[in-house]
Structure 1
Amino acid sequence: MHGKRLQRFSERALQALGRHGWPGNVRELEHQLLAFAVARESGNLSAAAHRLGITRPQLAYRLRRGPMPSEPGAA
Structure 2
Amino acid sequence: MIQVDETDLTILNLLYGGFDDASIARRLGLGHRTVQRRVQRLMDSLEAKGRVALGARAQELGLLPPP
What TM-score do you get using the length of structure 1 for normalisation?
0.44
Greater length-normalized contact order (CA 8 Å, ≥ 6 residues apart):
1
User: Is the helix fraction higher in 1 or 2?
Assistant: 2
With structure 2 as the length reference, what TM-score do the two structures score?
0.48
